[in-house]
Amino acid sequence: MNHDPHSVGLVCPQTAHFSTPLTLASGHVLPSYELVFETYGTLNQQASNAILICHALSGHHHVAGRHHPDDKAAGWWDNMVGPGKPIDTDRFFVVGVNNLGGCHGSTGPRSINPATGQPYGSSFPVVTVPDWVHAQARLADYLGIRCWAAVIGGSLGGMQALEWSIRFPDRLHHALVIASAPKLTAQNIAFNDVARQAILTDPEFYGGDFYQKDAIPRRGLRLARMLGHITYLSDDGMGEKFGRLLRSGEYKFGYDVEFEIESYLRYQGDKFSDYFDANTYLLMTKALDYFDPGTEWGQGDLARALQRAEAKFLIAAFTTDWRFSPARSKEIVKALIDAQKTVSYAEIESAHGHDAFLMTDPPYVALMHAYLNLVALKAGV
């Protein structure tokens, strides 16, 4: 394999074990837990150049690079993180972490509960965005990072960045909240519930304890992912890519895959159900539904909640995103301006819908370059 000078190259996940109990928003206490994470670049002596990347619903700690030279795909944000890329690993020490409740190595429903010797399954507690941020702060302590140069996330990841700025105002200099929202709408929650129902009603789900039955609620996960995927793309983008294209060029007058879009969604659903955990999916959608910092910190007023924040903010949205439309990002911007905070907002033209935050539309990349350069200057790197 040719070495790509803009890739972080081969990377290796690490695991941090925490034995200080973590009290969750639900009141449940996790006596101990593990977080799996990856780092890229070098932490400078003052520990001023650390950036935390928060992942979205189906993301994880593997943000950039490859685990093996023959890995087909690189980390999920490899286009944004690497030497010379906007999140420049020649300047920053970048941390990716799999959140609690995840299914990529951090303690989650699939993990063995040390108290029972069995997978947690249905007994794994519901975790929230604040719980994740709390756990991430412990990881920061573990890594010797008192204050992040920036906390960055798209979608559900953006909510974590926003939560960081309110919960730990003096532990980050910048928050980058991309394609996100200050709370879900009824429509957002409705989509999440349909996804959850698909999983919960799958006979292979066994109330969440399918591991012991050697079962996987594949059908439910597939449906949940297909539904989710529709909301990640724009109508235009989907139309452009698939239109009404038929796989065999003619109607078959049956219910097998005929349109290309059906084939695409089924493929995405199948792929997802091969590796993602059904309980994790349920829990992630619930974390989305519960997120509402305006209510938690500001008695319903987001501007009031954000009074606490000390970070500088970059808020970005994408024109064709209808899952978290630009109007949702502007709610955050308005609250920040009302609270007289330092904020910039960009509304990037893109055909990629919600997924645009993972793509490389040139103005988006230029914006990230420009903003992260400020972050680097502030960090002295």
Catalytic residues: 155, 321, 354
CB of 344 to another protein, least distance (A): 5
Q: Which of 282, 346, 376, 379 binds another protein (CB under 8 A)?
A: 346
Residue 67 binding another protein, by CB under 8 A: no
Number of residues that bind another protein (CB under 8 A): 22
Please give the Cα distance from 121 to 135 (Å, whole number). Answer: 20
β-bridge partners, 315: 177, 345
The candidate with the shortest Cα–Cα distance to 53, out of 160, 184, 127, is 160
CB of 303 to another protein, least distance (A): 9
CB of 318 to another protein, least distance (A): 12
Q: Which of 6, 197, 366, 380 binds another protein (CB under 8 A)?
A: 366
Nearer to another protein, 218 or 369 (CB): 369
Please give the Cα distance from 231 to 12 (Å, whole number). Answer: 33
Q: Which of residues 279-318 bind another protein (CB under 8 A)?
A: 314
Q: Please answer whether residues 240 and 146 qualify as being in contact, where contact means their C-beta atoms are separated by less than 8 angstroms.
A: no
Of the candidate spans 113-121, 141-149, 184-192, 330-338, the one that interacts with another protein by CB under 8 A turns out to be: 330-338
Q: Which of 112, 115, 190, 370 binds another protein (CB under 8 A)?
A: 370
Residue 360 binding another protein, by CB under 8 A: no
Residue 334 binding another protein, by CB under 8 A: yes
SS3 at position 127: coil
Q: Which of 114, 271, 373, 380 binds another protein (CB under 8 A)?
A: 373
Please give the Cα distance from 334 to 339 (Å, whole number). Answer: 8
Residue 238, both tokens = 């989907």
The candidate with the shortest Cα–Cα distance to 317, out of 276, 273, 280, 354, is 354
What is the chain's alpha carbon radius of gyration, rounded to the nearest angstrom? 20
**Which residues neighbour 51 within 8 Å (Cβ) at sequence distance 6 or greater?**
87, 92, 93, 94, 95, 148, 149, 150, 151, 152, 375
CB of 173 to another protein, least distance (A): 13
Residue 347 binding another protein, by CB under 8 A: yes
Number of other CB atoms surrounding residue 82 within 10 Å: 27
Residue 148 CB-half CA count within 13 A: 31
Residue 116 binding another protein, by CB under 8 A: no
Residue 356 binding another protein, by CB under 8 A: no
Residue 324 binding another protein, by CB under 8 A: no
Nearer to another protein, 276 or 357 (CB): 357
Residue 380 binding another protein, by CB under 8 A: no
Residue 109 CB-half CA count within 13 A: 23
Of the candidate spans 29-37, 140-148, 150-158, 326-334, the one that interacts with another protein by CB under 8 A turns out to be: 326-334
Residue 56, both tokens = 């979205």
Strands 343-348 and 312-318: parallel
Q: Which of 93, 132, 318, 345 binds another protein (CB under 8 A)?
A: 345
In the complex, the residues that contact another protein under the rule CB under 8 A are 314, 330, 333-334, 337-338, 340, 342-349, 363, 366-367, 370-371, 373-374
